[in-house]
Structure 1
Amino acid sequence: MKFNNIKHVYFDLDHTLWDFDKNSALTFEVIFKEENIGLETQDFLNTYIPINMEYWAKYRNNLVSKESLRVGRLRDSFKALKIQVSDEVIDNLSNRYISVLPSFNHLLQDTKETLKYLRPNYKLHIITNGFEEIQHNKMQNSQISEYFDTITTSEEAGVKKPHLQIFNIALLKANATPENSIMIGDSYEADIEGAKNAGLQAVFFDYYDKKEIMQVPQIQKLKDLRMYL
């Protein structure tokens, strides 16, 4: 099944193109060493990842601020692990995490090959809830910026996916219409429901390989977009 009349392809960034989990783990290794945190990175991540996901869900729904997310996810993780870490160290870790994270540039499998395949026939774009100050750096350092015509961040839009306004802004920037646009992302709530509510087509990137029944096409590998585009 091919999507017809598509001219604009919108991607989420983290967990869709940019290998957030791998790059984040490498970042924690660096900053834990700097702050002499005597803790295995993987042990920390086992606790941190679900807490971080909860904070991002709250952030999408405006239940916590950006600063509360940055600090709270670390504080709650150390608390859950029963490790005492001062507020000063948590602040340092929070700031260093944001600084160091974009210096790692691992992409998910098939990212560049997929972008090269799509680029001759479509205008490519990014819509991301990630922090403005690092999303552009992530793309530049991983050498994928050249493939994209526009990047729309939630901080620029003033709202986060799945809010209708961020999709409308992204469409306006690209001179696109919902009817000729499609969204690919790993968050069903933020990317797929948000896109569908804005009138776009959508493909769910099943990043965690759950293979759940969806009301939209889903892929487990980026190269499988060739079945639809």
Structure 2
Amino acid sequence: MEKLENVFFDLDDTLWACSENSKDTFMEVYEDFHFYRYFDSFDHFFSLYEENNNKLWSIYGEGKITKDELNDLRFAHPLLCVGVKDKQLIANYRETYLDRIKRKGKLIDGAKELLDYSFDRYNLYILSNGFREMQFSKMEASGILHYFKKVVLSEDYGVMKPNREIFHLALSITKSTVSNSIMIGDNWNTDILGAKNINMSQIFYDPNSLFDRSVFCFQPTYVVDSLLKIRDIL
């Protein structure tokens, strides 16, 4: 690799604490919409949502459903599971959730320190599969938007990570090259495998230490369980 100049970050659950912010928002919505009328507990509601959400995102990533279908299906699922078919209720809670989640500002531990360290040393970019109306608001709410010279969103180009095309587009848009760039992300398939497929170096952020060389198909360039450890790499 040439001298490192460009650092591409995934956003959700790499820098912005998506899982935590999402759960906090769902707890608010659960109370505000009195969902305890329908579910045994918040955990009951949330488990029904989560069991379907990841599957739907995978299907969306394959281009088999639209963005609107993704949102309709994932929010309706837990209520439909308990026999609630009130379309207006589902629409209202979905819109409330989407409005609130983008205002949440929790970051992954070490994110701010890593960005402070990297800001004057490298060109920093976001490469995300998230939706435009959400991602910019999230970065503004968490105070990190100013760190990035460019935000590349798959939605704007009609192709999602891990497709090689979105990585090549990101390099072209930012006037970067494979040999002077690195990808940092928490998702093995979209971030790490995607970067590997174009021979870009990768840092796999693996906070739960899930990586096992005997299970995963290759050894990433780097694996860390803390964002702060990335400062020792860059």
User: TM > 0.5 between the two?
Assistant: yes
- In the alignment, what sits opposite 1:59? 60
Shift of 1:165: 1.9
Letter in 2 for 1:226: R
Tell me whether 111-120 or 207-216 shows the greater mean CA deviation: 207-216
- Kept in 2, the 8 Å contact 1:19–1:108? The answer is yes
- Kept in 2, the 8 Å contact 1:16–1:207? The answer is no
Counterpart selection for 1:223 from 205, 211, 228: 228
- In the alignment, what sits opposite 2:89? 89
- In the alignment, what sits opposite 1:47? 48
In 2, the alpha carbon distance for the partners of 1:175 and 1:44 equals: 45
Q: Give the SS at the match of 2:35.
A: coil
- Kept in 2, the 8 Å contact 1:203–1:218? The answer is yes
- Kept in 2, the 8 Å contact 1:15–1:207? The answer is no
In 2, the alpha carbon distance for the partners of 1:194 and 1:211 equals: 16
- Kept in 2, the 8 Å contact 1:25–1:41? The answer is no
Shift of 1:87: 1.8
Shift of 1:85: 4.2
TM-score under structure 2 normalisation?
A: 0.90
- In the alignment, what sits opposite 2:15? 17
In 2, the alpha carbon distance for the partners of 1:75 and 1:121 equals: 45
> Structure 2: any 5+ residue segments left out of the alignment?
none
RMSD: 1.7
In 2, the alpha carbon distance for the partners of 1:99 and 1:46 equals: 22
In 2, the alpha carbon distance for the partners of 1:55 and 1:37 equals: 23
Shift of 1:52: 1.1
- In the alignment, what sits opposite 1:159? 159
Q: Give the SS at the match of 1:95.
A: helix
Tell me whether 124-133 or 157-166 shows the greater mean CA deviation: 157-166
In 1, the alpha carbon distance for the partners of 2:54 and 2:121 equals: 35
Shift of 1:79: 3.5
Tell me whether 100-109 or 29-38 shows the greater mean CA deviation: 29-38
In 2, the alpha carbon distance for the partners of 1:220 and 1:85 equals: 42
Shift of 1:22: 1.3
- In the alignment, what sits opposite 1:125? 125
- In the alignment, what sits opposite 1:136? 136
TM-score under structure 1 normalisation?
A: 0.92
Deviations 1:184-219 (A, max 9, x none): 111111111111222311111114432322510211
In 2, the alpha carbon distance for the partners of 1:52 and 1:99 equals: 18
Identity %: 32
Letter in 1 for 2:76: R
- Kept in 2, the 8 Å contact 1:157–1:165? The answer is no
Tell me whether 180-189 or 38-47 shows the greater mean CA deviation: 38-47
> Structure 1: any 5+ residue segments left out of the alignment?
none
- In the alignment, what sits opposite 1:70? 71
In 1, the alpha carbon distance for the partners of 2:115 and 2:42 equals: 32
Counterpart selection for 2:31 from 6, 30, 33: 33
Q: Give the SS at the match of 1:103.
A: coil
In 1, the alpha carbon distance for the partners of 2:121 and 2:44 equals: 44
In 1, the alpha carbon distance for the partners of 2:53 and 2:205 equals: 20
**1:28–1:85 Cα change, 3 Å:** farther
Shift of 1:83: 4.6
Letter in 2 for 1:128: S
